[in-house]
Protein backbone atom coordinates (compact mmCIF):
# COMPACT_ATOMS: atom_id res chain seq x y z
CA UNK A 1 0.00 0.00 0.00
CA UNK A 2 1.28 3.43 -0.87
CA UNK A 3 1.12 6.19 1.66
CA UNK A 4 -0.08 8.67 -0.97
CA UNK A 5 -3.53 10.14 -0.59
CA UNK A 6 -5.65 12.60 -2.55
CA UNK A 7 -3.76 15.73 -3.39
CA UNK A 8 -4.56 19.21 -4.64
CA UNK A 9 -2.06 21.10 -6.76
CA UNK A 10 -1.21 24.76 -6.33
CA UNK A 11 -4.32 26.52 -7.61
CA UNK A 12 -5.32 30.16 -7.42
CA UNK A 13 -8.97 30.96 -6.77
CA UNK A 14 -10.02 34.31 -8.16
CA UNK A 15 -13.34 36.10 -7.82
CA UNK A 16 -14.14 36.78 -11.48
CA UNK A 17 -17.50 38.50 -11.15
CA UNK A 18 -20.34 39.01 -8.73
CA UNK A 19 -24.02 39.14 -9.62
CA UNK A 20 -26.02 41.05 -7.06
CA UNK A 21 -24.74 41.27 -3.50
CA UNK A 22 -22.43 38.62 -2.11
CA UNK A 23 -23.22 37.64 1.49
CA UNK A 24 -19.62 36.55 2.03
CA UNK A 25 -18.39 40.01 0.97
CA UNK A 26 -16.17 38.80 -1.86
CA UNK A 27 -14.92 41.54 -4.17
CA UNK A 28 -14.14 41.17 -7.86
CA UNK A 29 -10.42 40.51 -8.23
CA UNK A 30 -9.98 38.87 -4.80
CA UNK A 31 -7.44 36.06 -4.98
CA UNK A 32 -7.13 33.13 -2.62
CA UNK A 33 -4.63 30.32 -2.26
CA UNK A 34 -5.86 27.00 -0.92
CA UNK A 35 -3.94 27.58 2.33
CA UNK A 36 -6.14 30.58 3.07
CA UNK A 37 -9.36 28.74 2.27
CA UNK A 38 -8.95 25.60 4.38
CA UNK A 39 -8.49 25.76 8.17
CA UNK A 40 -4.80 25.38 8.96
CA UNK A 41 -3.73 21.77 9.49
CA UNK A 42 -7.04 20.32 8.34
CA UNK A 43 -7.05 18.02 5.31
CA UNK A 44 -9.03 19.65 2.44
CA UNK A 45 -10.68 16.33 1.59
CA UNK A 46 -11.83 15.75 5.14
CA UNK A 47 -12.97 19.39 5.23
CA UNK A 48 -15.07 18.82 2.11
CA UNK A 49 -16.70 15.77 3.69
CA UNK A 50 -17.52 17.82 6.79
CA UNK A 51 -19.06 20.78 4.92
CA UNK A 52 -22.71 19.62 4.74
CA UNK A 53 -22.56 18.68 8.45
CA UNK A 54 -21.14 22.11 9.31
CA UNK A 55 -23.94 23.83 7.38
CA UNK A 56 -26.52 21.61 9.04
CA UNK A 57 -25.32 22.08 12.60
CA UNK A 58 -24.82 25.81 12.12
CA UNK A 59 -28.49 26.06 11.19
CA UNK A 60 -29.88 24.08 14.09
CA UNK A 61 -29.86 20.49 12.81
CA UNK A 62 -31.02 17.86 15.28
CA UNK A 63 -28.75 14.88 14.75
CA UNK A 64 -29.40 13.23 18.04
CA UNK A 65 -30.74 13.78 21.52
CA UNK A 66 -29.90 17.32 22.56
CA UNK A 67 -27.24 16.40 25.13
CA UNK A 68 -25.16 14.74 22.43
CA UNK A 69 -26.13 16.61 19.32
CA UNK A 70 -23.08 15.95 17.19
CA UNK A 71 -22.16 14.06 14.04
CA UNK A 72 -19.05 12.04 13.30
CA UNK A 73 -17.78 12.04 9.75
CA UNK A 74 -14.75 10.37 8.27
CA UNK A 75 -12.45 11.06 5.34
CA UNK A 76 -13.06 9.21 2.06
CA UNK A 77 -9.81 7.22 2.14
CA UNK A 78 -10.70 3.76 3.53
CA UNK A 79 -7.07 3.02 4.31
CA UNK A 80 -6.84 5.98 6.67
CA UNK A 81 -10.37 6.86 7.79
CA UNK A 82 -9.68 9.84 9.99
CA UNK A 83 -12.91 10.51 11.87
CA UNK A 84 -13.94 13.90 13.22
CA UNK A 85 -16.72 15.02 15.48
CA UNK A 86 -18.71 18.06 14.34
CA UNK A 87 -20.64 19.95 16.96
CA UNK A 88 -21.69 23.34 18.22
CA UNK A 89 -19.71 24.65 21.17
CA UNK A 90 -20.96 26.42 24.28
CA UNK A 91 -20.58 29.81 22.65
CA UNK A 92 -22.35 28.70 19.47
CA UNK A 93 -19.06 28.20 17.67
CA UNK A 94 -18.80 25.23 15.30
CA UNK A 95 -16.02 22.82 16.15
CA UNK A 96 -14.37 20.00 14.25
CA UNK A 97 -12.40 17.69 16.53
CA UNK A 98 -10.54 14.48 15.86
CA UNK A 99 -12.13 11.54 17.67
CA UNK A 100 -10.28 8.64 19.29
CA UNK A 101 -7.23 7.60 17.26
CA UNK A 102 -8.25 3.95 17.30
CA UNK A 103 -10.86 4.73 14.66
CA UNK A 104 -7.97 5.26 12.25
CA UNK A 105 -6.91 2.26 10.25
CA UNK A 106 -3.48 3.65 9.44
CA UNK A 107 -1.78 6.99 9.74
CA UNK A 108 -2.54 9.87 7.45
CA UNK A 109 0.55 10.53 5.40
CA UNK A 110 0.10 14.29 5.02
CA UNK A 111 -1.50 15.57 8.19
CA UNK A 112 -0.64 14.87 11.79
CA UNK A 113 -3.92 14.01 13.48
CA UNK A 114 -4.08 13.33 17.19
CA UNK A 115 -7.08 12.65 19.35
CA UNK A 116 -8.36 15.98 20.64
CA UNK A 117 -7.03 18.12 17.77
CA UNK A 118 -9.73 20.61 17.02
CA UNK A 119 -10.56 23.47 14.76
CA UNK A 120 -13.07 26.22 15.38
CA UNK A 121 -14.62 26.89 12.01
CA UNK A 122 -14.89 30.62 11.46
CA UNK A 123 -18.18 32.20 10.60
CA UNK A 124 -18.88 35.52 9.01
CA UNK A 125 -17.31 37.75 6.46
CA UNK A 126 -13.63 37.27 7.12
CA UNK A 127 -13.42 33.75 5.86
CA UNK A 128 -13.83 32.01 2.53
CA UNK A 129 -17.48 31.05 2.15
CA UNK A 130 -17.87 27.32 2.88
CA UNK A 131 -20.78 26.92 0.48
CA UNK A 132 -18.64 28.38 -2.29
CA UNK A 133 -15.76 26.05 -1.41
CA UNK A 134 -18.13 23.07 -1.65
CA UNK A 135 -19.17 24.19 -5.15
CA UNK A 136 -15.64 24.64 -6.48
CA UNK A 137 -14.19 21.52 -4.84
CA UNK A 138 -14.82 19.00 -7.71
CA UNK A 139 -13.12 21.41 -10.13
CA UNK A 140 -10.12 21.85 -7.84
CA UNK A 141 -9.66 18.09 -8.00
CA UNK A 142 -10.23 17.90 -11.74
CA UNK A 143 -7.77 20.72 -12.38
CA UNK A 144 -5.20 19.10 -10.11
CA UNK A 145 -5.55 15.82 -11.98
CA UNK A 146 -5.10 17.61 -15.31
CA UNK A 147 -1.95 19.31 -14.04
CA UNK A 148 -0.48 16.02 -12.83
CA UNK A 149 -1.39 14.33 -16.10
CA UNK A 150 0.22 17.23 -18.02
CA UNK A 151 -2.96 17.52 -20.08
CA UNK A 152 -2.77 19.95 -22.99
CA UNK A 153 -4.50 23.32 -22.92
CA UNK A 154 -4.99 26.03 -20.34
CA UNK A 155 -5.61 24.77 -16.85
CA UNK A 156 -8.47 27.09 -16.00
CA UNK A 157 -11.97 26.41 -14.69
CA UNK A 158 -14.83 28.85 -14.36
CA UNK A 159 -17.84 28.13 -12.19
CA UNK A 160 -20.18 29.83 -9.75
CA UNK A 161 -21.17 29.32 -6.16
CA UNK A 162 -24.56 27.72 -5.57
CA UNK A 163 -26.40 30.78 -4.22
CA UNK A 164 -29.18 32.42 -6.23
CA UNK A 165 -30.19 35.07 -7.38
CA UNK A 166 -26.99 36.71 -6.09
CA UNK A 167 -23.95 34.62 -6.92
CA UNK A 168 -20.20 34.75 -7.37
CA UNK A 169 -18.28 33.47 -10.37
CA UNK A 170 -14.84 32.02 -9.66
CA UNK A 171 -11.89 31.39 -11.93
CA UNK A 172 -9.53 28.61 -10.86
CA UNK A 173 -6.06 28.75 -12.36
CA UNK A 174 -3.35 26.17 -11.88
CA UNK A 175 -0.11 27.96 -10.96
Partner 1 sequence: MNPCEYTSSIKSFPVVFKCEKKDARCGYHKRGQRYDFSGLTSGSLCPEAYHNLYYLTLGILFKSKFKDKELIVKCPGAKNYVVFKVGSDKLNFRFKVLNIVKWIFFRFYPGQIYAGRLFWEVVKTVGECSQHHVVGDRFYVNKGSFQLTPDLLFSLGEPSGLCPAVFDNFFPYLYSWYVEKGFPYSNGSCDLIQCPDHKANITFKIEKDSR
Q: Which residues bind partner 1 (CB under 8 A)?
A: 1-7, 48-49, 51-53, 55-65, 72-74, 76-81, 83, 99, 103, 131, 134-146, 148-149, 151, 157-165, 167, 169
- CB-nearer residue toward partner 1: 48 or 95: 48
φ, ψ for residue 44, nearest 5 deg: -60, -30
Contacts of 17 (CB under 8 A, 6+ apart): 28, 168, 169
CB of residue 123 vs partner 1: minimum separation in angstroms? 14
CA dist 134 and 160 (Å) reads: 11
Q: Which residues pair with 31 in a beta bridge?
A: 14
CA dist 6 and 139 (Å) reads: 14
- CB-nearer residue toward partner 1: 120 or 158: 158
Q: How many residues would you count in the chain?
A: 175
CB of residue 107 vs partner 1: minimum separation in angstroms? 12
- CB-nearer residue toward partner 1: 12 or 103: 103
CB of residue 143 vs partner 1: minimum separation in angstroms? 6
- CB-nearer residue toward partner 1: 127 or 167: 167
* Closest to 19 in 3D by CA, of 160, 129, 173: 160
CB of residue 67 vs partner 1: minimum separation in angstroms? 11
Amino acid sequence: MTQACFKLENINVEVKSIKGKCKACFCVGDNFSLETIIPKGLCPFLYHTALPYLAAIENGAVFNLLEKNFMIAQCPNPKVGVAVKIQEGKEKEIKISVVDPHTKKSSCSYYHFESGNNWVVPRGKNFFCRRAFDSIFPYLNALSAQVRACAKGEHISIMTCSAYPDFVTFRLTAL
